Amino acid sequence: MTEIQKNANNSARFKAMGSVSSWKETTSGFLGKTESGNFQVTVFQSGVIRIQASPFDSFDPNLYSICSNPEKTEYSLEEKFGNIELTTSKIKLKLNLKNFNISFFDLNDKLINADDTFGTSWIGSEVTCYKQVQKNEKFIGLGEKTGNLNRSGKTYVNWNTDYFGYGVEDDPLYMSFPFYIGVHDQGAYGIYFDNTHKSIFNFGASTDRFMYFSAEDGDMDYYFIHESSVSEIISTYTSLTGRMKMPPKWALGFQQCRYSYYPDKEVVSLANTFRDKNIPADVIYLDIHHMEKYKVFTFDGVNFPDPKSMISKLKQLGFRVVVILDPGIKKEEGYIPYDESQQNGLFVKYPDGQNYIAQVWPGWCGFPDFTKPETRKWWAEKMEFYTEAGVDGFWTDMNEPASWGQFTPNLIEFDMDGSPSSHRKSRNIYGMQMARATQEGSILQNPKERPFVLTRSGFAGIQRYAAAWTGDNQASDEHMLAGIRLVNSLGLTGVSFAGYDVGGFAGEASKGLFARWMSIGAFAPFFRAHSMINSKDAEPWAFGEEVEEISRNYINLRYQLIPTIYCKFKESSESGLPLSASLAIDYSNDPKIYQSAFQNEYIFCDTFLIAPVESHKEITKVYLPQGNWYYLYSDKFFNGNQIIFQDCPLSYLPVYVKAGSIFTMQSEGSNTGQKNDGILRVHLYAGADGKFNHYEDDGLSWDFKNGEFHERLLNFNSNKQEFIINHAEGNYESEYSKVKIYFHGFDNQEVKLNGSTKKLNYENFSFLNKLTEFDPLPESEHPFFELELLPYLEIEYTNKEIIISDLN
């Protein structure tokens, strides 16, 4: 056997890091050498420790996901009993000098996570970290992944893939988030594997010995996070990878899309129909048929002869316009974007310098190298074409990158901000960098307004640049529920602004499915209906009068809840926590929430327990976790920790409000920019302490960063029987002149307002309007819930503190 053959055989075998031969302390941890490589341990925060290992002399980090630096953190470091021990105020790390196995403990010496004896190792260029599975351990996260909430027993691949009409168990999809959270009896932790190559997370599939995460190349580079709760782990993870920018308020409204609306007369007609039918909406999308032969930075001169005038008409009706942006630049001399990219070397290239050309919508195309600063700058400048026409938002699609044939050659090269790399390392961050360039362009062209960018592809950190949607789903009940899990899982990995195509993109929704999906979508961060070419119309009025009314009801409820939703977006932009929160965040040790019957339930805006249900069901089981709960529509009271049976006609999605909740509403409106009636409606629920941070600004500009906001804490103390609206902060004048406080579950006939007795008023109140009885037959009568004689107090809304006491 030749020496080459021996080396080849050796490279195909397992190779561990081996024993530690030397180590030394650094300013933020320690580094050293083993038999097989180099390592470095860095204290990033008191609850975050970074582990790096490589067979080479230097590390090859990902430049794009981590956006923070190590904090100055106190820790102790010593060598004893054959281990290097590093202890912060939250974590104790032990690194075994004999085999480089790493274990993590809390400060009570409870084992949180530990390497299997195989530890960190290589098979050829593939690097893997093998971990023990703790007793009763469950695994959640990984972002846009199908399957169950608990990932145990399954394997997932991170490789951004254009997957039209994917199945509800298919993998991989469009985005990659190599971050998971482990939950077990001893505690919880998170691991973010910061490697952009194709990676695998195996949570015990085909083995009873360990779980592992691996990448086909690159370093073992992961961040271990330990905090006292899952929510703190998510918040800490987003302190590393970033948080979303505060979006414009119009992006929180209902958005209508189709592949495609054209010509311009159809687009204007669509807008007029929303207004004529009194169905609120804020956004209309222009898909690829707005372009000339699908070429980006063009309008079709036949179907859209005067786009600026069309968009002006839409704005007069209160609509914003979002256009699709595909990365493929048609190879066509005389087409300015192609000529400029060619002349300035902005395309992705082969190693010999020739442009990489592949087929997509316009035909043969070059692909801008968004990992190159010059390309991002050029793209941002080209976006003037759209902003000059009045376009408000941008939808980056096909940015995995996708091409016909679906098999991009691995040898093509990307600049990677001066560190050229092949497709193997670059693919997963391509879409993220396109979204980055698009956001930068939106801000460059319209610096006074907050950007809105929506992306199909992304990687850890994408939340800094764009909202996300779950791609080309199908019109089925299974996809509707799978989409909820996808959005909830995205929330577990820092992507707060996310949604799905309501009604399903591929296929055609039934009347019942569309109605149910609309009701669920009203409780999603991103609320957009979308449908495919050559399918039936899929607007709210396209399914008959009853579905139209159900859709109108839930869209109206969404718009009335905009004050709450907007406040929670502000909180999420600061904390990184999701608006659509899996029950695994607050109830992570409750085994029932992982059961297939209940894993789709989630908390929306920290207040509403949403229990999604298929369109064909009229009664369903709902699990109410710890706490006390009110059925939203009737105020029926339930104790938690129980399974109930709930009627669920299409007109009433099962929704519950947690005791102690406070949320705000406003009057109905056709769009988020319409002036409300000046009354802030506050709903307060008895049974537990609660708080709500009310926040207002102009909804569009960056002025809130300079003090132009209105913010105040609303606090309910159940023991003191006291509700306080604290003194307002900020320089922005509130939109409201009065506040109307509704008391749910209280027995009061009067209260004390700043010490003075006030009698309560009463009114019948409903969250949804009664449906019209289109069919006169009595058995077709629709249910209707109304809160009879709901007590309320209406007072002037001033910046001064308001104290309401003697509540019981």
Active site residues: 397, 400, 472
Assess contact for 454 and 462: CB atoms under 8 A. Answer: no
Pairwise CA distance, residues 217 & 128, whole Å: 10
Q: Cα(first)–Cα(last) distance of the chain, in Å?
A: 87
Nearest alpha-carbon partner for 256 in 275, 230, 239, 242: 275
Pairwise CA distance, residues 219 & 60, whole Å: 6
Cα–Cα distance list, 728 to 300, 491, 592 (Å): 50, 30, 41
Assess contact for 666 and 562: CB atoms under 8 A. Answer: yes
Pairwise CA distance, residues 145 & 156, whole Å: 8
Nearest alpha-carbon partner for 326 in 300, 288, 282, 293: 288
Pairwise CA distance, residues 626 & 647, whole Å: 21
Quick check: helix, strand or coil at residue 582?
Answer: strand
The per-residue b/e assignment along 89-110, b for 16 or more CB within 10 angstroms, e otherwise, is ebbbbbbbbebbbbbbbbeeee
The per-residue b/e assignment along 726-736, b for 16 or more CB within 10 angstroms, e otherwise, is bebebebebbb
Q: Where are the beta strands (DSSP E) in 593-674?
A: 602-604, 608-610, 619-624, 628-631, 637-639, 642-647, 655-658, 662-665
Q: Residue 216 has which token pair?
A: 């086909």
Q: Residue 780 has which token pair?
A: 């077709």
DSSP H helices, 703-800, are none
Residue 171 phi, psi (nearest 5): -160, 140
Quick check: helix, strand or coil at residue 743?
Answer: strand
Strand 48-54, strand 220-225: pairing: antiparallel
